[in-house]
Amino acid sequence: MFLDLRHVSYVPLRDVTLQVVNGESGLAIDGVMIGGRWALQGGRMVSVDEDRLRGQVAEAVERLASATHGRREISRALEPYLNAFCLAQSQQPL
């Protein structure tokens, strides 16, 4: 893993280990090598067509939304009862 030490997480750079362990969110990762090959370089996936993947994800979301439409309506109808039940349970001592 290669970090961009100019990222705000590392400015000022005082204790690299502490900053990586406690502050790294993944935003400063600039590159990743696996088995000597780049998987991520310049913050972009090398072996994945990200635009194609985004399109596939959008299609999958549409299929899932279509397949679960009726179930979502049932879930929304039950939501107030479930919320009331959970609230009542949280107010009871163990």
- Please identify which residue in the block is written with the tokens 């406690």: 22
What is the value of pTM for the model shown?
0.51
CA distances from 58 to 22, 62, 66 (A): 34, 6, 12
Domain boundaries, the chain: 2-45, 50-90
In 1-94, where does DSSP find H-type helix? 16-23, 50-67, 69-90
CATH number of the 2-45 domain: 2.30.40.10
pLDDT tens by residue, 15-66 = 989 999 998 999 999 999 999 999 999 888 898 898 999 999 999 999 999 9
Per-residue confidence (pLDDT) for residue 83, from 0 to 100: 93
